[in-house]
């Protein structure tokens, strides 16, 4: 037997306004080159702290199942993913769904058990993500009990290692990715989706099952209703 927590893509909505630090000015005996380096270090430290603050806001939003807050705190690319997921849930047939990644196929299967096609058709990515959070389809444990470790900031992208204090010899946790957009740091879920695809593919291989068989088993367990290939039929 196996399990996969967080059937709907883990939502890591995070946003924090970048902490602005003004540079040193006037009356300093620090050489100009050293002053510039110090200013860069201050800016980097501010970004790192902003990322940590964002992660805490994310956890608070998930804990409260505040779908609107979660949807507002993810990247534009993440909302685009959910735009497409809403369309697939509402209108797609087996050919189009079958061409998508395993995580996306699993999400379509789960959402079709929770959301009538006509309602999905009226949703954009922000609305669908908010719905998933409010309904508890997003695993809150994906953030609870986790701590950010080292953060590497490169331009407008930050990648943070993740640790789970108190849990030793557990599986290696995928890093969290943040992107600076519209004046704040936001979570980018697309790398997490790619990592989840690989994990599910490995899970299927380990148990000698097709990816779709794994999807149907997991969604059946999550919904308490048997799920088979008919879930991908065009509505």
| C-alpha–C-alpha distance, residues 164 and 183, integer Å | 30
User: pLDDT digit string (tens) for 95-130?
Assistant: 999 999 999 999 999 999 889 999 999 999 999 999
| C-alpha–C-alpha distance, residues 101 and 123, integer Å | 21
CA 45 to chain centre: 24
User: pLDDT digit string (tens) for 29-54?
Assistant: 434 444 434 456 778 899 999 999 99
Domain locations in the chain? 31-223
What SS3 state is found at 180? strand
pTM: 0.77
Q: Is the pLDDT of residue 170 over 60?
A: no
Task: Give me the chain's average pLDDT, please.
Answer: 81
Kindly give, in sequence order, each residue whose CB lies less than 8 Å from that of residue 206, ignoring residues fewer than 6 positions away. Answer: 2
pLDDT of residue 184: 94
The mean per-residue pLDDT over the stretch 190-202 comes to: 91
Count, residues in the chain: 235
Across 31-40, 68-77, 162-171, 189-198, least confident range: 31-40
Tell which wins on pLDDT, 122 or 174.
122
Report the top-level CATH class of 31-223.
Answer: alpha beta
Confidence of residue 9 (pLDDT cuts 50, 70, 90): very low
Q: In what order do the strands lie in the sheet with 157-163?
A: 15-17, 184-187, 176-181, 157-163, 147-154
pLDDT of residue 166: 64
């Amino acid at each position: 037997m196996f399990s996969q927590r967080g059937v709907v893509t883990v939502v890591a909505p995070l946003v924090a306004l970048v902490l602005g630090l003004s540079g040193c000015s006037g009356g300093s005996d620090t050489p100009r080159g050293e002053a510039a380096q110090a200013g860069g270090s201050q800016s980097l430290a501010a970004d790192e702290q902003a990322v940590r603050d964002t992660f805490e806001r994310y956890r608070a939003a998930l804990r409260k199942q505040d779908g609107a807050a979660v949807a507002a705190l993810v990247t534009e690319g993440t909302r685009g993913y959910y735009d497409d997921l809403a369309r697939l849930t509402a209108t797609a047939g087996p050919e189009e769904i079958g061409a998508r990644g395993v995580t996306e196929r699993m999400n379509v299967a789960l959402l079709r058990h929770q959301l009538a096609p006509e309602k999905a058709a009226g949703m954009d990515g922000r609305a669908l993500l908010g719905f998933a959070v409010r309904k508890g389809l997003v695993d809150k444990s994906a953030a609870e009990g986790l701590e950010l470790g080292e953060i590497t900031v490169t331009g407008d992208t930050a990648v943070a290692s993740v640790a789970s204090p108190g849990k030793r010899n557990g599986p290696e946790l995928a890093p969290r990715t943040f992107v600076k957009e519209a004046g704040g740091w936001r979570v980018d879920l697309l790398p997490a989706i790619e990592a989840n695809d690989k994990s599910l593919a490995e899970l299927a291989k380990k148990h000698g099952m097709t990816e779709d068989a794994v999807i149907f088993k997991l969604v059946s367990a999550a919904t308490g209703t048997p799920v088979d290939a008919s879930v991908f039929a065009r509505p």
